[in-house]
Amino acid sequence: MKLTILGCYAATPRSFTNPTSQVLQIKNHLFLIDCGEGTQVELRRNKVKFSKIKHIFISHLHGDHFFGLVGLISTFRLLNREKELHVYGPKGIKQAITLQLKLSNSWTNYPLYFHELESKEPQLIFEDEKVSVETIPLKHRIYANGFLFKEKPAERKLNMNACLQHEIDVVYYRKIKAGGDATLEDGTVIPNAELTFDPDPPRSYAFCSDTIYKPDNLPQLKDVTFLYHESTFLEAHAKLANPTGHSTAREAGLMAKGANAQYLILGHYSTRYPDLTLFANEAKAVFKNVLTADDGKVFDLDELTA
- Taking CB under 8 A as the rule, does residue 14 contact its own copies? yes
Rounded distance between C-alpha atoms, residue 76 and residue 122, angstroms: 30
The reply to whether 86 sits in an annotated binding site is: no
- Taking CB under 8 A as the rule, does residue 85 contact its own copies? no
Rounded distance between C-alpha atoms, residue 8 and residue 144, angstroms: 17
Interface stretch with its own copies, choices 13-21, 49-57, 118-126, 203-211 (CB under 8 A): 13-21
Active-site residue flag, 64:
yes
| Contact characters 128-147, its own copies, x per CB under 8 A | -------------xx-----
Rounded distance between C-alpha atoms, residue 246 and residue 230, angstroms: 7
Interface stretch with its own copies, choices 66-74, 150-158, 191-199, 228-236 (CB under 8 A): 66-74
The reply to whether 60 sits in an annotated binding site is: yes
- The nearest distance, CB 141 to its own copies, in angstroms, is 7
The reply to whether 55 sits in an annotated binding site is: no
- Taking CB under 8 A as the rule, does residue 80 contact its own copies? no
Residues 92-131 that bind its own copies (CB under 8 A): 92-93, 95-96, 99-100, 103-106
Among 9, 57, 67, 228, binds its own copies (CB under 8 A): 67
Q: Which of 6, 54, 24 is nearest to 205 (CA)?
A: 24
| Contact characters 195-234, its own copies, x per CB under 8 A | ----------------------------------------
Among 3, 33, 57, 90, binds its own copies (CB under 8 A): 90
Binding residues: 60, 62, 64-65, 140, 210, 268
- Footprint on this chain of its own copies (rule: CB under 8 A): 11-15, 37-38, 40-41, 44-45, 61-63, 66-68, 70-71, 74-75, 78-79, 90, 92-93, 95-96, 99-100, 103-106, 141-142
